[in-house]
Amino acid sequence: MRKIVGPLLTGLLVVGVAAAIYVSADKQLSQLNKVTVRGLIGSEKLAFFQDPRVIEAFANKGLEVEVKKSGSREIATRHDLNNWDFAFPAGVPAAEKISRENQARKSYQVAFTPMVVASWESIAKILEANGIARMRDNIYYLIDMKKLLEIIEQGKRWTDLPQNESYQARKSILINSTDIRRSNSAAMYLALASYLFNDEAVVENTTQADALVDRLANLFIRQGYTEHSSAVPFNDYLIMGIGKAPMVMAYEAQYLYAASQSQLRGDMRLLYPEPTLYTKHVLVALSEPGEQFGQVLTTDPTLQGLMIEHGWRNSDRAGFDSFIQSRKLQVPASLVNVIEPPSYEVIESMIQTIERDHYGGAH
């Protein structure tokens, strides 16, 4: 027995070692031809970059992509951007700032998605009964944002609304967002509210902004603790449900991706603010490999298709439509009432004032 086991074991070990050498040699060979690109991304795009199909599509183009997620506002204010190949935040304002203040080689308009309110059938019905929301195409709703912000500012609670049998919560009516100091989706909510508070005009300078900033701050302060990136409140929406927050500011893409993954419950509803705005996902290439990466991402049809499968809209309109149809989803064919966000400087100044006056200067 002793004699047999000895050689057998040795044989096993030899095979093991040989296999290890073979595997690592093969890996090294392919890595020789592959370019590794490193970039900073908004958290909402993490699932896309972790999708094995996406990794494979990049590999086919000789790229290995390493990403680190961060709040979009945090990306724009980092000091070490020249150590990265690309920055891929959410929102034009952050991308513009990065382009301007760093040696950006090129920027690419990759995708866009409208801001939505992720909510529930019962909530939509209450809002509808109170003249704040209207149903479209039997499935999604449009919210009159001006009216909604009015009742929010009045400090109304859900129990204060007439014709509300189904959500008897003594909670203030609020839209839950992320932390205004860190994340793009909160900044988009700020942009939207600033437009409505400014008599339906884009805030153009800091004088206009200063006049509105206390009212705007209240939308966030009254929420209490807020999360740093948009993935968290949306996941709370999926898991903790209507009890955690009846209305969550989100990206349409998050909702559509969750729907395509069968993560939604039957009574979840998508509410489109009127007006709304788009979050544009602009890729800023900061190095030569970053540029190569941008080129592949915006031209490779497989990757374009996969972006759509993750819920984003891009230049392939027909592709988006067929994704929606194939998953039996329903979204507005076109959004008419879409506004532009204020410039980066104006948004930044509003956020800084809120930070200084309402959060004691820290973030």
Partner 1 sequence: MKAYLTLLSVVFSLLLNGCSGPVEQVSILAGSELKDIKPMLDEIKRETGVEIEFHFTGTLDGAETLASGAHYDMGWFSHAKYLSLLEGRANQKFIHGSEKIMLSPVVAGVKKSVADRWGWCDNAQVSWKEFSDKAAQGELTYAMTNPASSNSGFSSTVGVQSALAGGETLQPDMIDNEAMSGFARGHKLTAGSSGWLADKFVAEQHQVDAIFNYESVLIGLNESGQLREPLCLIYPPEGVITADYPLLLLNKAKQQAFSKLIDYFKQQPVQQRLMSETARRPVIPGVALDKRFPDAVVLELPFPGKVETVDQILMTYLDKQRAPSTSIFVLDLSGSMRGDNLQQLKQAMHNLAGGDQSITGKFARFRAREQVIILPFSSQPMASQTYDIESGIGNDPVLQQLRNEINQLVANGGTAIYSALDSAYGLAKTARAQDSDRFYSIALLSDGANTQGLSYGGFRDLYRQNHDDYAGIPTFPIIFGGADKQEMEKLAHLTGGRAFDSTKHSLSQVFKKIRGYQ
78 part of the interface to partner 1, by CB under 8 A: no
Smallest Cα–Cα separation from 155: which of 197, 218, 249?
218
Instruction: Please tell me whether the peptide bond between 275 and the residue prior to it is cis, using omega within 30 degrees of 0.
Output: yes
359 part of the interface to partner 1, by CB under 8 A: yes
To partner 1, the closest distance from the beta carbon of 124 in angstroms equals: 16
Residue 279, beta-bridge partner list: 113
- Which residue of 110, 242, 282, 331 would you call a contact of partner 1, by CB under 8 A? 242
To partner 1, the closest distance from the beta carbon of 241 in angstroms equals: 7
146 part of the interface to partner 1, by CB under 8 A: no
Q: What residues contact 44, with CB distance under 8 A and at least 6 apart? A: 90, 185, 229, 230, 231, 251, 253, 254
H or E element that contains 192? helix 184-197
Q: For the purposes of burial, counting CB atoms within 10 Å of the CB of 18, is it exposed (0-12), middle (13-18) or buried (19 or more)?
A: exposed
To partner 1, the closest distance from the beta carbon of 220 in angstroms equals: 8
**Cβ atoms 361, 218 nearer than 8 A:** no
318 part of the interface to partner 1, by CB under 8 A: no
- Which residue of 210, 240, 317, 356 would you call a contact of partner 1, by CB under 8 A? 240
To partner 1, the closest distance from the beta carbon of 157 in angstroms equals: 6
> Which window, 199-207, 221-229, 269-277, 333-341, contacts partner 1 (CB under 8 A)?
221-229
306 part of the interface to partner 1, by CB under 8 A: no
Rounded distance, CA 177 to CA 338, Å?
A: 20
Rounded distance, CA 220 to CA 358, Å?
A: 10
15 part of the interface to partner 1, by CB under 8 A: no
The residues that touch partner 1, with contacts defined as CB under 8 A, are 1-2, 5-6, 9, 12-13, 16, 155, 157, 168-172, 181, 221-226, 228, 232, 235, 238-245, 263, 359-360, 362-363
